[in-house]
Amino acid sequence: METTELCFTPATELARAIRAKTLSPVEIVEAVLARIEALNPRLNAFLAVHADGARQAAQQAEAAVMRGEALGLLHGLPVSIKDLEPSAGLRCTCGSKFFEHNIADVDGMVTQRVKAAGGIVLGKTNTSHYGHKDMCDNLIGPPCRNPWKLERTSGASSGGAGAAVAAGLGPLAHGSDGAGSIRIPAALCGVFGLKPSFGRVPNWPNVDIWAARSHNGPMTRTVADAALLLRVMAGPDPRDPTSIDHPPEDYLAAVAWPFPALKGLRIAWSADFGYAPVDPEVRRLTAAAAERFSEFGCHVEAVQPGWEDPRQPAATMWYVSYAARLGERYDERPDWFEPSLVEMIEAGRQVSGIEHGRAALARTAFYEQMRCLFEHYDLLLTPQMPLGAWSVDQGPHDIGGEPTPSMFDRLNFTFPFNLTGQPAASVPCGFTGEGLPVALQIVGRWHADTLVLQAAAALEQAAPWAQQRPALA
């Protein structure tokens, strides 16, 4: 197979070829590493590349195949890990100057499970400073750029993962999502991203477990590849007391065609929740994607959910979290903090305990409003990001003509489902006139990860996207 085509071949197909002994893990890893070497200097998708270790692991994987050993689900497949999770022996910066030269001495939960399933860790993907924002830049190096237009942002905080998958720098990527950090770059880079149900994938190590906000999940070019990686990542672990105490389903089998029909599902479509600014072109493309579900036999209804805008309590808890976790480091070296993070820390320091408690109460009330909505609907569809990728240097000043001074003005469709913990997927659904990807969001009710994946797979079959490649590719 030609090298470029190999780099864009789905992981599920690579896995079958490895098992059939028609393709070697060594060939796959060498092709991907060569592509990283060629493109990463322009993209900055990877902060660290584990080239020697990946080659050694690929050779070992090939030998195991030839010996006829039992193979794990990811045997011989290259996987990238976001640089908020430690992987032993690799650089782990969290996008922070404080850890610019840090080498991890333990594997995080996702890395452990990837390795146990035979996956080969390629390296660590770029992220914003402690994942605090939706643009993938930090003070330790150049920003991550969007493969579709290099002068645009990849999104964040899993921006390196999104850019890497879009550009063919590995088929499987780990991301994490505390306010949209899987879905933002997935949407802006034109790949598939799933924020699973909260607790579906354990989060360890984690200094703020009880915030109950951050989700680990897969970023891939196809839904089946995400299902494969989720099957490996998911499942309980006592190191994360919030993890779902139930074994994962066979997500890959669930999205294998033909999967159970979606006919009769009740689907809500909301273009703006009644308050969110959305670019007209994005609104048109996502509305057309939502309407496709009528063709699948679903009952699609346009709704305005009527809940109160949860932005203020979400922002309050977000800012307090960063002030609590990073405030002492900020006092020590303020020059190692970007203005955006400084603003969050300073805002968090102004919040009283009572105000923070009220924000938590508002989160509870919002969950109840969402639960009531899903008494009437199986899925909720929305735009994912309200605009295409903006400048790599600064955030947009407006969306559809409406001023957007805050990052949270861009995230009206992402952070609500971190507050509620529901599964949510970013599904490519077209391109703007500038050639920038647009995505539809599919949100499921409590723990309905499989249904979200199946709905995404149906849209993928009706309007495939994986064959679309950025000009950089």
How would residue 471 be classed by pLDDT, with cut points 50, 70 and 90?
Answer: confident
Spot the catalytic one: 87, 176, 181, 214: 181
pLDDT tens digits for range 204-222: 999 999 999 999 999 999 9
The whole-number pLDDT of residue 473 equals 53
The whole-number pLDDT of residue 261 equals 86
Spot the catalytic one: 24, 80, 82, 133: 82
pLDDT tens digits for range 289-341: 999 999 999 999 999 999 989 999 999 999 999 999 999 999 999 999 999 99
Mean local confidence (pLDDT), 437-444: 98
Classify the phi-psi angles of 203: left when phi > 0, otherwise alpha if psi is within -120 to 50, otherwise beta. beta
Domain boundaries, the chain: 3-462
List all residues 6 or more positions away from 68 whose beta carbon is below 8 Å from its beta carbon: none
Structure token digits, residue 140? 């330790």
Pairing of strands 120-125, 46-49: antiparallel
Give how far the C-alpha of residue 24 lies from the chain's centroid of Cα atoms, to the nearest Å.
Answer: 28
Does the active-site annotation cover 243?
A: no
Q: Is the pLDDT reported for residue 1 higher than 90?
A: no
Spot the catalytic one: 80, 96, 157, 270: 157
Q: Is the pLDDT reported for residue 113 higher than 60?
A: yes
CA separation for the pair 342, 137 (Å, rounded): 15
Q: How many CB atoms lie within 10 A of CB 264?
A: 10
Q: Is the pLDDT reported for residue 260 higher than 90?
A: no
pLDDT tens digits for range 20-29: 999 999 999 9
pTM value is: 0.98
pLDDT tens digits for range 29-81: 999 999 999 999 999 999 999 999 999 999 999 999 999 999 999 999 999 99
Does the active-site annotation cover 82?
A: yes
CATH number of 3-462: 3.90.1300.10
Does the active-site annotation cover 80?
A: no
CA separation for the pair 192, 119 (Å, rounded): 20
Pairing of strands 266-269, 192-195: unpaired
- Would you give the DSSP letter of residue 407? G
DSSP string, 353-402: HHHHHHHHHHHHHHHHHHHHHTTT-SEEEEESSSSS--BSSS--SEETTE
The whole-number pLDDT of residue 472 equals 77
The whole-number pLDDT of residue 101 equals 97
What is the CA angle 131-134-138, rounded to 5? 55
pLDDT tens digits for range 176-192: 999 999 999 999 999 99
Compute the mean pLDDT over every residue in the chain, rounded to the nearest whole number: 97
202-208: long-range pairs with CB below 8 Å, 24+: 202/109, 202/235, 202/236, 202/237, 202/239, 202/240, 202/243, 203/109, 203/176, 203/240, 203/242, 203/243, 204/108, 204/109, 204/237, 204/239, 204/240, 205/86, 205/106, 205/108, 206/240, 207/325, 208/321, 208/325
The whole-number pLDDT of residue 27 equals 98
SS3 at position 191: coil
